[in-house]
Amino acid sequence: MNETPRVLLVGAGAVGQVFGKYLQAAGCELSFLVKEKYADEARHGFTLYELGILEKDPEPTTFSGFGVQVSNEEVAARRWDQVWLCVSSTALRAGNWVGELARATGEATWIMLQPALDDREWLLQWIAPERLVSGMIPFISFHAPLKPGERLPRPGTAFWLPPMSRGLFSGPPERLQPVIRTLRAGGYPARPTPDVVRDVAIPSAVLTVFVNGLEAAGWSFERFLQRDSLEHVHRAAREAVQVAASHTKGSASTVLPLLRPVLFKLLLPVAAQLTPFDLETYLKVHFTKVGEQTRSMMRTYVDLGRSAGLPIEHLQAASR
């Protein structure tokens, strides 16, 4: 890798902007690949708000000084060290752009952040395993203001990295270590792990079923926490956890005994108190935006569970 890594981030939404901030702080030569309709906005730079538990009025910072690419021809004209996929699982599979981008970026290391159980296998059609690093997103980011009435100096992207967060990554050591070093140089809490897909499979399964159940409850915590709603979510979550454990060859033995309706009833109000933003509104806004990803992941749990001969009755019911 060059002394100054050349990094291409695919997608300049809330996730791409936050990773871009840390990568730029590490001294990377940064560019975003965006659709033509978003290019002018990106070229003007972005406003970021870093949130903290005690920070009530975050100050805006300007994030600029990066390149903007809009085509594979522009991308192919340069050499890249890293390509970051900062788009949803469903956007990843829309059209044939991934294969075209793979050809345009030479031998660059690709970093995937998508949460679906089969995303890595799908990407291996285009990217050799020795070039692919897998990661997860430990922060929450969103367009701000989140709801009407919130006062900010100007619109932007707010993000919150909870205390003690770790950004886990796994992959071939010769590709993984430069990614870890770069992120740490920019102040990001990157940590290597043997298999990030397995590490996050069960938490992602619980979160996906929770979000699906919250949507069914009209994005209302009050309705979600009613007994019937919690029972349906609890049963579907148990099935999803077993599917995730089976697919990643992990273990659900320590999670299943804890996965009870009372867990959601206890943790949800606590989480709502600790987040430095309106959690109920955030969940509605963000997961409505990526709703197709949630539904696709639910279908994946059903399909993988069926193939493995695992119980999926409640997952199927929740996926309708």
Instruction: Kindly give the pairing relationship between strand 82-85 and strand 140-144.
Output: unpaired
Between CA 247 and CA 103 the distance in angstroms is 30
Between CA 28 and CA 142 the distance in angstroms is 24
Report whether 47 contacts 72 (CB < 8 A).
Answer: no
Between CA 295 and CA 316 the distance in angstroms is 11
Domain 6-194 has CATH 3.90.550.10: no
Between CA 83 and CA 109 the distance in angstroms is 6
Between CA 317 and CA 152 the distance in angstroms is 42
Rg (C-alpha) for the chain, rounded Å, is 20
Full-model pTM? 0.95
In this prediction, residue 1 carries a pLDDT of 45
Between CA 176 and CA 180 the distance in angstroms is 6
Report whether 66 contacts 25 (CB < 8 A).
Answer: no
Sign of CA dihedral 97, 101, 103, 108: negative
User: Measured at the alpha carbon of residue 30, what is the angle toward residues 178 and 60, in degrees to the nearest 5?
Assistant: 110
H or E stretch including 263? Answer: helix 261-274
In this prediction, residue 248 carries a pLDDT of 96
CB within 8 A of 204, min separation 6: which ones? Answer: 115, 117, 244, 297
Residues of the chain with pLDDT under 50: 1
In this prediction, residue 57 carries a pLDDT of 80
Residue 213: what residue type? G
Q: If you write DSSP's letter for every residue of 49-73 in order, what string do you get?
A: EEE-TT-SSPPPEEE---EEE-SHH
In the chain, domain spans: 6-194, 198-319
Instruction: Kindly give the pairing relationship between strand 132-135 and strand 167-170.
Output: antiparallel
Sign of CA dihedral 144, 116, 305, 194: negative
* Listed residue (92, 91, 194, 190) closest to 137, CA to CA: 190
Sign of CA dihedral 134, 139, 140, 144: negative
